[in-house]
Amino acid sequence: MRYEFQDLSGQRWQVALSSSEAGLAIDSLTRGDENIVSHLSAKVGAQQVTLSDGSRAKLCKVGDDWWVHHQGRTHRVTILEAGTDDSQISDGSLVAPMPGTILDIMVTPGESVSSGQPLLLMEAMKMEHKIVSPSDGTIENLLCNIGDRVDQGAVLIVVDAIE
């Protein structure tokens, strides 16, 4: 059984497991390009996993995300399908972080922008949020208008980054 995960820092993990008398044991584990040697094994219960180091994790899965509570801390790792890339939306696409209304658009298509430059202003959860350019580049596409109500995840603006 092989799985690939991505953690919240963007780090990718590949793990191969096999069943043994002690439970599920790690055959191989990599984090990015780094090989990690681990002799940990795990036993799976109803809603928790007991590890061979004596620690326990509580887990649940929502969508492709595993939420893991371990030693007082909460983690989330996303399971990646073999061979697929998660960048369905191109890197320069800025999406609405939550449902809201577009209050102001400070740029026009074709305009050069610098990293951190405010691009548009939206109101969500009764607060104003400034959406800033993630990189230096040009505005490739503008997909909203002032006054639009937008859903969470809607692509608002596309920045073509200068490599």
Partner 1 sequence: MDRRWMNGASRPFSKVLIANRGEIACRIIRACKEAGLSSLAIYAEDDAESLFVEMSDEAVLLPGVDLASTYLNVELIIKVALEKGAHAIHPGFGFLSERADFARAVQEAGLIWIGPPAQAIESMGDKMTARRLMRQAGVPVIPGEEIDELDAESALSAIHEASQRVGLPLMIKASAGGGGKGMRMVSDFSEVRSAAQAARREAESAFGDGRVYIEKMLTSSRHIEIQILADSLGNVIHLAERECSVQRRHQKVLEEAPSPVVSAALRSQMGAAAVNAAKAVSYEGAGTVEFLVTSHGTFHFLEMNTRIQVEHPITEAVTGVDLVFEQFRIAAGLPLDRSQSDIRINGHAIEVRIYAEDPASGFLPAIGPLVLYQAPTGPGIRIDSGIRQGDQVTPAYDPMLAKLVVHAADRKAAIRRLARALSEYVILGCTTNIDFLQDLISHPEYLSAKTSTDFIELNWPDGWSNTATGTEVVLAAASAEASGMQRLSSAISSAEDGEPLRHDPLNPFISIGRHLP
The count of residues interacting with partner 1 (CB under 8 A) is 67
User: Under the criterion CB under 8 A, does residue 82 sit at the interface with partner 1?
Assistant: no
Distance of closest approach, residue 161 Cβ to partner 1, in angstroms: 12
- Look at the alpha carbons of 39, 23, 3, 93 in this order and tell me if their dihedral is positive or negative: negative
How far apart, in Å, are the Cα atoms of 65 and each of 12, 81, 151?
Answer: 14, 12, 21
- DSSP readout, 52-106? TTS-EEEEEEETTEEEEEETTEEEEEEEE-TT--S-SS-TTEEE-SSSEEEEEE-
Distance of closest approach, residue 111 Cβ to partner 1, in angstroms: 16
110 or 151: CB nearest partner 1: 151
Q: Which of residues 50-79 bind partner 1 (CB under 8 A)?
A: 51, 53, 55, 57-63, 65-77, 79
**Distance (Å, whole) CA 27 – CA 53:** 17
Binding region for partner 1 (CB under 8 A) out of 45-53, 106-114, 142-150: 45-53
Q: Applying CB under 8 A, which residues contact partner 1?
A: 1, 3, 5, 7-11, 13, 15, 17, 23-24, 26, 29, 36, 38, 40-44, 46-47, 49, 51, 53, 55, 57-63, 65-77, 79, 94, 97-99, 121, 123-134, 152
